[in-house]
Amino acid sequence: MIKTNNLSKNYHSLEVLKNIDFQVNTGEVVAIIGPSGSGKSTLLRCLNGLEEISSGSVEVSGIIVDSKQSKKDQYKKIREIRLNTGMVFQQFNLYPHKTVLQNVIEALLIVKKWSKEKAIEKGENLLSRVGLFEKKDEYPSRLSGGQQQRVAIARALALEPKIILFDEPTSALDPELVDEVLSVIRELAKEGMTLLIVTHEMQFAREVADRVVFMADGVIVEQGKPENFFSNPETERAKRFLKIM
Ligand code: ADP
Ligand code: MG
């Protein structure tokens, strides 16, 4: 579903991703962990074109963006990738002046050009799925952080993406609100969705992920099955990281 080849990303002289070869299989749930500044968010952002790649290539659902393609071709491919990819950020990024339902159906109306009735029906179903049907006519500011993040997940699901990228979806939440969001993600995993999740929730990664990828300093240092990685990390870097978590 996802494959990067020799993916690098620089900000001027700062090398943030260094020749990353990485893949995610269909139906797989992959957790990316690692210290702050290691390039986790940048990797996600390169996968759906929120950041331009410096060299190498990214493939999502058969669509390839290669740094050797013309910028125009790259943008075209990125647009295609975005249609197949949902993204959920640490900050919920909902439109404050739109209701919960309007937030969820926006892409169906604008991108898919669905009729209002059809979009609303789908939007209401998605909100039921994340347990927020009753809040459909509220504005985001009237919701808790956990509820806003569940709306963001419903919105990400609207275009029926082949994969959802989560960037620390619970990091901005009060501790008592973390579980309701993790539960929704857990359900998606059970349904067989392909998920790539950057997280600091080690217990969650251990329980839900098929594979854990540990990044540090712009490289993948180590990866493996959660039970192996957490109980018996191979590298010193991973051991040190797990000790402070
Ligand atoms: P993580 O998500 O693992 O905390 P990031 O991918 O956000 O790490 O950042 C990796 C590195 O890239 C950091 O050193 C960060 O300061 C740098 N960085 C991220 N975005 C930018 C940017 N837009 N311009 C310059 N440097 C950036
Ligand atoms: Mg980050």
| pLDDT tens digit sequence for 93-115 | 899 999 999 999 999 999 999 99
The closest alpha carbon to 215, from 35, 8, 83, 79, belongs to 35
Structural element, H or E, at residue 128: helix 116-129
Per-residue pLDDT at 97: 97
| pLDDT tens digit sequence for 24-54 | 999 999 999 999 999 999 999 999 999 999 9
10 Å Cβ neighbour count for 40? 22
Alpha carbon of 110 to ligand 1 centroid (Å): 31
What span, in angstroms and rounded, lies between the C-alpha atoms of 92 and 172? 9
Mutating to test ligand 1, I would choose from 9, 42, 52, 198 the residue with most ligand atoms within 8 A of its C-beta, which is: 42
Per-residue pLDDT at 89: 94
Instruction: Determine the residue type at 52.
Output: E
Q: Please say if the pLDDT value at position 92 is more than 90.
A: no
Handedness of CA 42, 47, 48, 50 (dihedral sign): positive
Q: Please say if the pLDDT value at position 159 is more than 90.
A: yes
What span, in angstroms and rounded, lies between the C-alpha atoms of 155 and 150? 9
* Residue closest by Cα to atom 15 of ligand 1: 37
Per-residue pLDDT at 77: 97
DSSP per residue, 199-211? -S-HHHHHHH-SE
Pocket flag, ligand 1, residue 169 (CB < 6 Å): no
Note the pTM of the prediction, 2 decimals: 0.96
Q: Please say if the pLDDT value at position 205 is more than 90.
A: yes
What span, in angstroms and rounded, lies between the C-alpha atoms of 39 and 220? 10
Per-residue pLDDT at 245: 80
For residue 121, the Cα-to-chain-centroid distance in whole angstroms is 25
The closest alpha carbon to 136, from 87, 101, 93, belongs to 101
10 Å Cβ neighbour count for 60? 26
Rounded (5°) CA angle 142-145-146 = 115
**205, 199 contact by CB (below 8 A):** yes
Q: What is the mean pLDDT of residues 147-160?
A: 97
| pLDDT tens digit sequence for 66-87 | 999 999 999 999 999 999 999 9
Confidence tier at 186 by pLDDT (50, 70, 90)? very high
Pocket flag, ligand 1, residue 199 (CB < 6 Å): no
Q: What is the DSSP letter of 180?
A: H
Q: What is the mean pLDDT of residues 50-66?
A: 97
Beta-carbon neighbours within 5 Å of ion ligand 2: 40-41
Q: What tokens appear for 10 in the block? A: 């620089």
Pocket flag, ligand 1, residue 38 (CB < 6 Å): yes
10 Å Cβ neighbour count for 132? 22
Strand 29-33 relative to strand 211-216: parallel, antiparallel, unpaired? parallel
Alpha carbon of 233 to ligand 2 centroid (Å): 22
Domains detected in the chain: 2-244 (3.40.50.300)
10 Å Cβ neighbour count for 152? 25
Q: Please say if the pLDDT value at position 244 is more than 90.
A: no
Bridge partners, residue 88, by sequence: 166
